Structure 1
């Protein structure tokens, strides 16, 4: 199997799977419980999620490892089990993916603040991401996504950790929000163009955006990144629209047909690695797979 970035550079459009956290909750994950520990305590449930997305048509299986750094696992008293949990996360995904699909490890924010904004050193953050990335690779991941980031320093530290300590493809993804006066920026004030250039310079093979926004706004972000970092493959994993509170529950209003149609707009904007974040289900991914694999009409 070719490397993920090689396939994207060659012009393929690949589909990543959808939401993990809400799926785990539907299977019984309780508030305050560690989602990543389910890779050890409920492996069949985790595999059933991967299998549902694969059967829906995803090309890339993403691991249940978003909060798998020692910083996050410390909250559950699990910091000594970083390697065990992340190896299991990747092994479960690989078992479902087989040899012909990519397995994408997930590296989420640590929740710690690096100097000069906080007390953590860059070396400590790099070491934590390196520990997680090595375990994911050992379990069978061939790529990793540094995702839902808002601080450039932390994101670039994670990218360097993965590049310097593994042979995996490294994807870097920020979360943006609309900015007063127009345009988009992360919570820390970083624009899509600034992020794309910095992440690529740090060594990311693929850059993009996930979470926070629906597909319409994300298409605008993809276009800005394409202009700022030409030649770098782009990721887009939007939510199924913006969240709304209905009868005390958070709902996402984009239907599978909506996401299918808008996934084509994301591809036209320049994204070649497309998936879903919060609110997306196997039904959304199935509709997106059908849309993205339907031959384009002659222009």
Structure 2
């Protein structure tokens, strides 16, 4: 066992930790009594799965704006590229025409919401520290989604299973539909009861260069395959790729810095507010540097 493994719970210990957090499950009566004391249908949290047409309209507009922000500088450099053309502006009438109400399934919706909120706490670069100082590491972004899905439903025999998608990226698509602080507060109360703590990390976009991996797995060329002209063209292509990569990294760095500045002008996110209410102070990592 290396030092990295010594600082983290084992898979078996993670299951035991979650069993201790939720002895009656993610949608047990104790959970419902905490986040929906009257009934699930009467709590504002129910809107997470039953949004109004107006809410859906705002979400579509927000997604379009974010895409526009990420592609604007690239479009300025390549205005003729049809793939970078702006998408049509959504309309409320168009959303209403496609909107359909769906029946409430309290047990399934509560379990899914708690699972998504757990992803927000345990993943998204944050860390849950157990009473003995080890990290309750449930995996990377996708791995964390898979852990939560398997904890709820058991291991999947399908190697291509997409169950993790239910929890991947947590509440990112539903967090504007209701104040999720009550769910985070419930989670932090349970963590505190087990002597655990939480470390906040400000979310940041990044880029991974997979070209070295591609080169490593490609069949190496022999001397008889060498072509000076092809080698020159390849070097030129690589230089251009690196320049584009560096420009994109610089844009992301500025976007991340801007997000941090904007965050300091706004109230803390619901996860941090819930932590403050339960623990009586800021989590480590807040405010972001």
Normalised to the residue count of structure 1, the TM-score between the two structures is 0.23
- Select the structure with the greater relative contact order (CA < 8 A; seq sep ≥ 6): 2
Structure with bigger gyration radius? 2
Greater strand share, 1 or 2?
Answer: 1
Per the normalisation by structure 2, the TM-score is: 0.24
